[in-house]
Structure 1
Amino acid sequence: MDRRLKGLQIYAIDGSNLPEETMNKSEEDLVKTRSETIFRAACHMNAIYDVGARMFVDMDIQKATRKDEHSAAKRLCARVRESQDVIFIMDRYYHNFGLEYQIHLQGHFYLIRMKKR
């Protein structure tokens, strides 16, 4: 079954923290919590999800202490080599003119959910 929207391949980009065990971690791997004495270890995953195929097609893993969703999204979009038109759907935190311009230069489209003011 083809799940395209008027011929567009639909990719969603989003990120999430993935918890890790805290044993054998250096201080740069530990993230402060709201408590002064409790730390946690995590990595941050940014991924591209193919909405039509219902599967992840690529991901970028970063240390949670140095996560940068804009640069991760740029790397993910640069690795998409689709010959057909693609629309990237992202949350408001991914709004970045550099990313949007890169997607435009690739000949693809983007939709970013913005916060209502």
Structure 2
Amino acid sequence: MSTSTALPVLRTPDPHVAHAAARRLLALAEAVADCNTEGVTTALTAAEARRLFAAFPEARATPIDLHRTAVREAATPGVEALLPLEFQVQQPAGTFEERFLDAIGSGPGSLS
């Protein structure tokens, strides 16, 4: 029997607490070798974007609204013209998650 409704296991505004709880749950599962984790977040400010670029130079950054970005690029040079930016980074599980949580800002983010 299954349900189509997902219920939250934990609710917290602290991403480090949420990550610790997820790691405890994953410790119960069978380990999978050569597994990657993907981090996705949205940079809403130039400071957040610069912090994410510094922490993850290999990350893929994509403007969320390409039409608005094209219009703003002419008037505003630099990263401000590209905001908001979606950042995606994929690395081996267990190697970057804490660094990712430290670098994200006020935008939504996830680890999967």
TM-score range, shorter chain: under 0.3
Task: Give the structure with the higher percent helix.
Answer: 2
* Larger RCO of the pair (alpha carbons < 8 Å, separation 6+): 2
Task: Give the structure with the higher percent strand.
Answer: 1
TM-score (norm 2): 0.26
